[in-house]
């Protein structure tokens, strides 16, 4: 069976039914936690990122498959976002709410606002509901007004948009004032918003982000992106995030396709190809992708989202350079690793959060939590099907 057919079956028979089963018809949205023993905590916090991503997923699954039940699931997610995740008093989107929708963590983070824009834009495309697009535009203007400085995007704020410590997007023992991760996903969200709205101001900001990535985030001598920054966008840690670099490669290419600007495509293409080649050379072992390298020490964990982005990133690299068939073979090999080791074959489960390099599940990691959702693996399926890789 060819890859795209297998992926389609996995999407329709496994991923979609799993997330449909987590729908909360009592309080709205989707349940926020399932442990490794497959026990759902119906009173766990509901991350607003989680519900944005699930809404995005069902909207795009509907756009691909045209099944009305998927649009209804997306609408269910949208109604929860609209009713509970949006702060009607101070604006923006909360970090999380309680199981019944009460505000829980009222932190406002630029990253979180971006994912709401991403979801609302796709939901507008799927449903035609103008209110969703209007809300996405309101969040866009809010980010540009409240979350920017002369250099980039500030990230963490309290409910009233007073800047606070950026602990939610900082890792590896540092506290970053700006991150590659947030910048990437603002770009991703704005790409989708521009695709459905064609708003000139959004287009202008996409160009600005591309320039910033090229001049301040991408390190040409190291063939990678820097990850954590101070306020002036100086790197503060020697870290190579393999998953983010392969994800960045294809997300930037998608943005360039939406912009349709030959000059910018020519400008950014060498960087995209360089990131793809470097990840293939230093992080891919022929079967799967390592997590990251900090100060020369490689973390060999196989994280669910990194494996999903590897498939898409290498397919993108192959489609950009069809003579580099090694990228196509890498994508197929990664899919084989995912099938064999990352997909949890137990009934009522989905993907493991993390496995070892040899494919053994790591104990204690949940199946669902505020970051673990169908955004990466569901999107991988959608991208493989859309790209029609079996024609290669």
Q: What is the pLDDT of residues 197-242, one digit of tens each?
A: 999 999 999 999 999 999 999 999 999 999 999 999 999 999 999 9
Among 180, 184, 157, 195, residue whose Cα is nearest residue 236? 180
Instruction: Give the pLDDT mean for 61-72.
Output: 98
Q: Over the Cα atoms of the chain, what is R_g?
A: 20
How would residue 390 be classed by pLDDT, with cut points 50, 70 and 90? low
| Tens-digit pLDDT profile for residues 313-344 | 999 999 999 999 999 999 999 999 999 999 99
CA distances from 167 to 90, 94, 164, 193 (A): 22, 15, 9, 27
Q: Is the pLDDT of residue 67 over 60?
A: yes
% of the chain residues with pLDDT over 90:
98
257 pLDDT more than 90: yes
pLDDT value, residue 388: 83
As a whole number, mean pLDDT of residues 243-253 equals: 98
Write out pLDDT tens, residues 14-38.
999 999 999 999 999 999 999 999 9
Distances (CA, A) of 169 to 214, 290, 339, 365: 21, 20, 30, 19
Residue 356 is predicted with a pLDDT of: 98
Spatial CA neighbour of 218 closest among 280, 174, 272, 295: 272
Per-residue CA distances from 102 to 62, 156, 245 (Å): 29, 21, 36
Quick check: is 389 in a domain?
A: no
Q: How much is the mean pLDDT over the chain?
A: 97
Residue 337 belongs to a domain = yes
Tell me whether residue 68 is in a domain: yes
- At residue 391, the pLDDT reads 44
Question: Percentage of residues in the chain with pLDDT exceeding 70?
Answer: 99
Residues, the chain, total? 392
pTM of the predicted protein model: 0.97
pLDDT in tens, 111-148: 999 999 999 999 999 999 999 999 999 999 999 999 99
DSSP state of 75: H
Domain ranges, residue 332: 3-383
Q: What's the confidence (pLDDT) of residue 392?
A: 47
pLDDT of 185 reads: 98
Specify if 365 maps to a domain: yes
Handedness of CA 213, 153, 379, 300 (dihedral sign): positive
Give the helix/strand (H/E) hosting 250.
Answer: helix 242-259
Asked if residue 391 is part of any domain, the answer here is: no
The predicted pLDDT at position 1 comes to 60
pLDDT at 354 over 50: yes
Give a yes or no: residue 392 inside a domain.
Answer: no
Q: pLDDT at position 261, please? A: 98
Q: Is residue 47 part of a domain?
A: yes
Non-local (6+) Cβ contacts of 168 within 8 A are: 95, 107, 109, 111, 156
Q: Check which CATH number belongs to the domain holding 123 and give it.
A: 1.50.10.10
| CA distance to 20, 98, 186, per residue, from 196 (Å) | 26, 32, 16
> Is the pLDDT confidence value at 290 over 70?
yes
Q: Flag whether 356 is in a domain.
A: yes
Cα(248)–Cα(214) distance, rounded to whole angstroms?
12
Domain total in the chain: 1
Q: Are 246 and 253 in contact (CB under 8 A)?
A: no
Whether residue 389 is predicted with pLDDT greater than 70 in this model: the reply is no
Q: Which long-range contacts (C-beta less than 8 Å, at least 24 apart) are formed by 253-259?
A: 253/316, 253/320, 254/191, 255/187, 255/188, 255/191, 255/206, 255/210, 256/210, 258/191, 258/194, 258/195, 259/194, 259/203, 259/206, 259/207
- List the alpha helices (DSSP H) in 1-67: 3-10, 16-20, 48-65
List of residues 6+ apart from 53 with CB closer than 8 A = 115, 119, 373, 374, 375
Cα dihedral across residues 288, 291, 292, 294: positive or negative: negative
């Amino acid at each position: 069976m060819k890859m795209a057919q297998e992926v389609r079956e996995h999407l329709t028979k496994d991923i979609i039914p799993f997330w449909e089963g987590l729908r909360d018809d009592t309080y709205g949205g989707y349940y926020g936690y399932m442990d490794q023993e497959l026990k759902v905590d119906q009173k766990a916090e509901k991350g607003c990122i989680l519900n944005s991503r699930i809404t995005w997923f069902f909207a795009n699954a509907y756009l691909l498959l045209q099944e009305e039940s998927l649009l209804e699931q997306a609408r269910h997610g949208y109604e929860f976002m609209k009713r509970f995740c949006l702060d009607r008093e101070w604006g923006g989107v909360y970090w999380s709410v309680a199981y019944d929708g009460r505000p829980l963590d009222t932190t406002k983070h630029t990253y979180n606002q971006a994912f709401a824009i991403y979801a609302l834009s796709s939901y507008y495309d799927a449903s035609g509901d103008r209110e969703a697009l209007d809300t996405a535009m309101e969040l866009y203007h809010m980010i540009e007004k409240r979350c920017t400085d002369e250099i980039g995007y500030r990230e963490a704020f309290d409910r009233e948009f007073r800047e606070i410590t950026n602990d939610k997007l900082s890792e590896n023992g540092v506290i970053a004032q700006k991150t590659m991760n947030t910048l990437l996903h603002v770009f991703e969200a704005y790409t989708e918003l521009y695709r459905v709205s064609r708003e000139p101001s959004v287009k202008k900001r996409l160009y600005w982000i591309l320039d910033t990535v090229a001049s301040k985030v991408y390190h040409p001598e190291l063939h990678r992106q820097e990850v954590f920054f101070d306020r002036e966008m100086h790197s503060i840690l020697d870290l190579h995030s393999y998953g983010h670099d392969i994800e960045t490669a294809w997300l930037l290419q998608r943005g360039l396709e939406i912009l349709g600007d030959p000059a910018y495509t020519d400008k950014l293409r060498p960087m995209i190809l360089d990131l793809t080649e470097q990840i293939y050379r230093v992080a891919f072992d022929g079967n799967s992708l390592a997590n990251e390298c900090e100060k020369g020490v490689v973390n060999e964990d196989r994280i669910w989202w990194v494996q999903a982005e590897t498939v898409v990133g290498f397919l993108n690299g192959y489609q950009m350079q069809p003579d580099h068939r090694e990228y196509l073979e890498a994508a197929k090999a990664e899919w084989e690793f995912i099938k064999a080791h990352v997909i949890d074959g137990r009934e009522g489960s989905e993907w493991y959060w993390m496995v070892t390099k040899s494919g053994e599940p790591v104990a204690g990691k949940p199946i669902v939590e505020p970051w673990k959702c169908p955004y990466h693996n569901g999107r991988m399926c959608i991208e493989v099907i859309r790209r029609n890789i079996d024609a290669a």
